[in-house]
Amino acid sequence: MLTLWWQLLVVTVTSASMRPVNLVTGNDFMATLPTLRMDNLLAALNEAEIGQHPVEVHGALVGLICGGVEQSSKGWTLPLLELMNDGQALPPKLQTMVEELYQDAVTRLSDTDFGFSPMLPEEEETLAKRVEALSLWVQSFLTGIAIIQPKLNKASKDVREVIQDLSEIAQVEFDVAEDEESEAALIELMEFTRMAALLCYSEFGPAIEDDKPIDLGVLH
């Protein structure tokens, strides 16, 4: 298991060419669609007796999209249901929320200003819980993208490298100190994850107009 301290030393996100962004949290995620706040999505998952956290659902969904899943209702719904609910249909309320989650993710991933961010807990949560949530998001993302792109070893060198880096982030330890250094390390990991997803989308997803270079750090 990798420690957050190790990640702080080896992850370098080159952000000079990036505009500042606000990472998605439970409160500001889909502000125009309050039904998709993390707490409401969690309540819907619990009501449907689906033992997954919203970050896992979002991670898997984004992984499918970034892997180039067919952007039609059946194209993305069927593999997501396999991951979420053993292929079984979702209750109507939850299905609607997931559809809105999908539309938001596609919109943000297609944003040439890099409007996308992983769906993660608020900063008020303990650092350990936020690290665990990032790990769960990354694990689900990797599962989703692997389903759609089973031959990731044939991808570009940059994508292969970030997939390996994400695999290491998925194993990060949750027992971390509640201090500024650990907070800074987590922010860097979140930013790396965000840009890694965008890189995968740029390779496997539909063409995006006005493409901008995606600058990523490298794990050694």
List pLDDT tens digits, range 85-135. 999 999 999 999 999 999 999 999 998 776 899 999 988 899 999 999 999
Strand-pairing partners, residue 2, are 172
pLDDT at 76 over 90: yes
* One-character DSSP codes across 86-125: TTPPPPHHHHHHHHHHHHHHHHHHT-TT---------TTS
Structure tokens at 68: 């180039």
Percent of residues, the chain, with pLDDT higher than 90: 61
Q: Which two tokens stand for residue 144?
A: 């989703």
Give the pLDDT score at 37. 81
Please say if the pLDDT value at position 23 is more than 50: no
C-alpha atoms less than 13 angstroms from C-alpha of 210 in its C-beta half-sphere = 5
CA dist., res. 45 & res. 37, Å (int): 12
Residue 114's pLDDT is 66
Buried (b) or exposed (e) across 110-135, using 16+ Cβ within 10 A? beeebebbbbbbeeeeebbebbbbbb
Closest residue by Cα to residue 139 from 172, 175, 170: 170
- Which of the residue ranges 63-77, 110-124, 200-214 has the most confident prediction, judged by mean pLDDT? 63-77
**Domain architecture of the chain: domains with CATH:** 4-204 (1.20.120.740)
More confident residue, 140 or 176: 140
CB atoms within 10 A of CB 28: 12
pLDDT exceeds 60 at position 214: no
Compute the radius of gyration of the chain from its Cα atoms. 16
State the pLDDT at residue 207: 61
CA distance 120 to 132: 10
Instruction: Tell me the whole-structure pTM to 2 decimals.
Output: 0.80
Rounded to the nearest integer, the mean pLDDT of the chain is: 81
